[in-house]
Chain A
Amino acid sequence: MNWAALIFGKLSWSVFPDNPIALGGAAFMVCCALLVLALITYAGRWKWLWSQWLTSLDPKRIGVMYIAVSGVMLVRGGIDALLMRAQQATSVGASDGILAANHFQQIFSAHGSIMIFFVAMGFMFGIVNLVLPLQIGSRDVAFPFLNSLSFWLFASGAVLINLSLILGDFSTAGWLAYPPLSELAYSPTTGVDYWLWSLQISGLGSLLAGLNFLITIIKMRAAGMTPMRMPVFVWSVAGSMSLVVFAFPILTATLALLALDRTLGMHFFTAGGGGNMMMYVNLIWAWGHPEVYILILPAFGIFSEVVPVFSGKKLAGYFSMVLSIWAIVFLSFLVWLHHFFTMGAEADVNAFFGIMTAVIAIPTGVKIFNWLFTMYRGRIRFYTPMLWFMGFVVLFTLGGVAGVVLAEPPADYQLHNSLFLVAHFHTMIVSGVLFGYFAGITYWLPKIFGFRLDESLGRKAFWCWLFGFILAFGPLYILGFMGATRRLDHYAAGLGWQPLFIVAGIGVLIIALGFAFQVAQLVRSIRQRRTALDTTGDPWDGRTLEWSTASPPPAHNFAVLPTVHSLDAFWAAKQEGTPADVRYEDIHMPKNTGAGIVIAGFVFLFGFGVVWHMWWLAIFGIAGAFISALVRTFAEDTEYVLSAAEVEAQEKARGRAPALMPL
């Protein structure tokens, strides 16, 4: 019996990176992690970190942690992007560039997976955590502990995917790992397994979070907040979370089938043996297309809050906005086949999915018109959230035209998998999703932290992102027309592509500068926070309930739960004058708990064990997760009570004076 294999599975000394760039990446990551740990130790902040943050069940803190993890992952994905463009700018004709083909393929696979699953999803759940309970006038989400568990599963997935930098390699099969390339026959290393299990673990977190927020919206709204009095952001999150609940099980099942193929020698998607790779492609896009709307709907919701507030006006066409959200939710499940029109399906199949895809442009167009007519006869203050909105409309509309072009099957035959397609979906996801989230973060952080972010650096960041984006992706549209396909690590010299790849690389550098401005903005804002304090709780003259409480709000959000009488409840209250009659009540709040970290930690061990075929560790991990979940389920002492007298004392002490979030 081979004891080493039994204990260490496929792990051996040869799993460490063997080329200088990969080694440098691994060393950089390890150094950063050690530096952070050292800094925390030096500052003596471990106890504070554990008791105030890591174990917190407060959605506002969980939201900040989501955004922090996503910010770090954005750096990782961004470095991947820079390396890809550096390779493509140098690897032409006789030159092989800086990366080996296999390494380049790992990098673009990691870039896509990380940007979608650990940047976009993380920012989205982060913002939803920050805002949603406040906006519906609730003290918490429906299942506070589940919320913490969701975050820690997300974080476990993030750690697992990044571990592939240090131990072993990553998938080379692209961000959606089409078989048979992702099958054992063509990808024998642990790369695809890292991809599978980090997505599986974080996907489980997403599914739980989706259920949690959907139920929160259904059950936890303030008194009087009928559905048609919900802010549009809440509607958009309801749409997005419905999609999570319906789409993520498909992802889970699809990944599980591929894992069975790879781990137990089954043949769901193999070439031969009865497998059908197109089954995988259908299934993964049956999740993958709704996923796009899972990300974009909350961004639409953010713009639907930002534009009215900064225009000093009610949102135009509330009913249309709600209707269009649900039209998009419904249609997003009817378009998945447009990702592979080139499969060779019959003309009527392609035509159906092409038409359905184009139809989605109708509700999206309506939304843009409604935002524009919200500006009409407004008094528009161009703070950075509004700049992000302007940039979004310009880029998103152009990217949308590219999308409608791609929706026509014969046009797609020519542009499928070309860099035109890459440019299109980056336009939608960067200008739609990321710009939206940046607008949301700038808009809502004063609520969470108690001070505004620095405007001047925020503007610089915006212009860098906008022009960096145009430089980075404009050339890709042209390269697509030139016949350049995605994922090329090398191309012939005579094609004339190199100058465009160089310009695209410069664009990515400018975007990186924009991100540096955002980091500087955060640092400067924290250092100078006393000069930009939000003492009123309502820094932008807001319209919705989150602005009615203090900035930052107490852990229980509202000393007295609000009652809603109309749409834009806080605006209406400001117009009519605040009611004086205040009755304090005992508040039941969940206690902090480390159970989420413990369970997600066991799940991480399970994932690591399966990736490396260390079966004892996988069994230990899954058993540990199960048992610790059981222990938590039967725990009784999970709440504390804040008596009415204490709440009153806190409110009196606070007055309207700011209490900064302890940074």
Chain B
Amino acid sequence: MNWRYLLPYAAILALAAATAWYLHGASLPVLDPKGPVGAAELRVMIITVLLCAIVVVPVFILLFYFAWKYRAGNTATHVDHSPDWDHDNWVAETIWWLVPAAIIAFLAVLAWQSSYALDPYKPLASAAPPLTVQVVALDWKWLFIYPEQGIASVNLVEFPADVPVHFELTADAPMNSFWVPSLGGQIMVMPGMETQLNLMASGVGDFSGSSANISGDGFSGMAFTARAVTQSEFDAWVQSAKDAARPLTLDAYDALAKPSSYDPVSLYAAPDENLFETIIDRVMMPADGAMDMNNDMNMDMPSMPGMDMHSMDMRMPMPVTTAP
């Protein structure tokens, strides 16, 4: 046997060993979730991989077995060689249509059920009432508004552990995607639209978050911290923000919204009432006169009956306008 045949296998083994050594102790938040959403999403991944293995393992075995056994150099199998053999065999053919189809059928059920169960808009089951946090992706930082607490923060979202957090998200910037891998999956964050996401931490801790969608020069500096604390720590944090921080008036917001990245954590008190809705409205109707809607488009959005600009939701159909 030629030792060179073993070289690829040795290389693969060495790679696997090096990988295992490196991963020992590494932080893999997707595989080590700290909340029920991330845990359920990981479960979907694992079930899928195991079901796929039913097909993949035989494929690997057959590939190498056939390649070895029927190599031209192996004269022992030449008697088997039949150039026109087409396994004219509907049974075999049917098997390799049906086996993958059966697996995909299982996966389809999984996709359907898990899409509903893990719908990012779906409130999480919990005895505790949810905390609402409004998220605005800015160039290039995250603004978190706590409408119930009357505070706001930049690049830090703090919340009590074991309490569902209901995020409402929009952007005053190009499209972003909000991701805290330790807690669970993403939702896109788009200007002029609102999306929603529900997450919960099962224990206290600091989790890193980021934007997963390119949004311009400072995009890499959009990292933020999601911090799960105890209820009393959270209450103290809210109070400290109220006591010490400046109010987030519309002017203060406009200053904050100017492009910058790698911004340090900062806290604000008393965000402008309806700031979140105002941000969405302003994107929809630029105030800088970039376009005059009344004249150019025969569209008078604010006075249009039946249309509530404050609920321009990703799941709402776009308003249909008609010329007067």
Contact = CB atoms under 8 A, between A and B. Distances in A.
Contacts of B15: 470-471, 474
Contacts of B164: none
A179 B193 CA distance: 14
A342 interface: yes
A346 B315 contact: yes
B42 interface: yes
Given A377-B70, A404-B107, A411-B48, A369 B315 contact: no
B44 to A, nearest CB: 5
Interface string B216-233: 111111010000000000
A377 B111 contact: no
A417 B212 contact: yes
Given A172-B217, A271-B283, A410-B114, A365 B96 contact: yes
Contact of A180 (B27, B49, B174, B285): B174
A224 B207 CA distance: 67
Nearest to A318: B86
B107 A408 contact: yes
Contact of A496 (B27, B45, B175): B27
B30 A490 contact: no
A398 B49 CA distance: 10
Given A412-B185, A414-B42, A375 B8 contact: no
Given A358-B108, A372-B59, A314 B285 contact: no
A467 to B, nearest CB: 6
Contact of B188 (A180, A267, A340): A340
A344 B315 contact: yes
B119 interface: yes
Interface in B5-19: 8, 11-12, 15, 19
B21 to A, nearest CB: 11
Contacts, number: 306
A410 B71 contact: no
Interface string B106-142: 0110111011111111100000000000000000000
A346 B70 CA distance: 51
A365 B55 contact: yes
Contacts of B192: 271-272
B42 A377 contact: no
A487 B285 CA distance: 31
Nearest to B185: A413
Nearest to B296: A273
A271 B291 contact: no
Nearest to A467: B11
Contacts of B177: 342, 416-417
B101 A267 contact: no
A373 B92 contact: yes
A491 B71 contact: no
B83 A362 contact: no
B102 to A, nearest CB: 10
A101 B218 contact: yes
Interface string A374-387: 01111111100000
A390 B60 CA distance: 10
A219 B199 CA distance: 58
A292 interface: no
Contacts of A417: 177, 186, 212-213
A415 interface: yes
A418 interface: yes
A413 B114 contact: no
B177 to A, nearest CB: 6
A485 B211 contact: yes
A413 B184 contact: yes
The secondary-structure label for the interface of chain A is helix
A346 B196 CA distance: 11
Contact of A181 (B93, B112, B114, B216): B216
Contacts of A554: none
A276 interface: yes
Nearest to B111: A354
A277 B26 contact: no
Interface in A287-316: 311-316
A350 B115 contact: yes
A226 interface: no
Contacts of B318: 276
A250 B237 CA distance: 52
A314 B70 contact: no
Contact of A397 (B22, B60, B111): B60
Interface string B84-97: 11110000110011
Contact of A359 (B26, B96, B104): B104
B255 interface: no
Given A278-B190, A410-B44, A355 B185 contact: no
Contacts of B213: 178, 417
B181 interface: yes
B135 to A, nearest CB: 13
B318 to A, nearest CB: 6
A456 B208 CA distance: 49
Contacts of A178: 174-175, 213-214
A317 B49 contact: no
B188 A361 contact: no
Interface stretch (A475-483, A591-599, A615-623): A475-483
Contact of B115 (A358, A381, A405, A410): A410
Contact of B181 (A271, A365, A381, A414): A414
Interface string B167-185: 0000100110101011011
A362 B185 contact: no
B154 to A, nearest CB: 17
A372 B220 contact: no
Contacts of A376: 66, 70, 87
Contacts of A429: none
B297 interface: yes
Interface string A105-133: 10000000000000000000000000000
B156 to A, nearest CB: 15
Contacts of A271: 171, 174, 190-192, 283
A578 to B, nearest CB: 18
Contacts of A239: none
The 7 closest A-B pairs by CB, nearest first: A413-B185, A181-B174, A271-B191, A483-B181, A351-B115, A417-B212, A410-B118
18 contacts: A172-B216, A181-B175, A312-B83, A344-B187, A344-B315, A348-B116, A362-B97, A372-B66, A400-B52, A404-B48, A409-B115, A410-B41, A414-B30, A417-B213, A418-B30, A478-B19, A489-B220, A496-B26
Interface of B: 8, 11-12, 15, 19, 22-23, 26-31, 38, 40-42, 44-45, 48-49, 52-53, 55-56, 59-60, 62-63, 66-67, 70-72, 77-78, 80-87, 92-93, 96-97, 100-101, 104, 107-108, 110-112, 114-122, 171, 174-175, 177, 179, 181-182, 184-188, 190-193, 195-196, 208, 210-221, 223, 283-286, 290-291, 293, 297, 299, 314-315, 318, 321
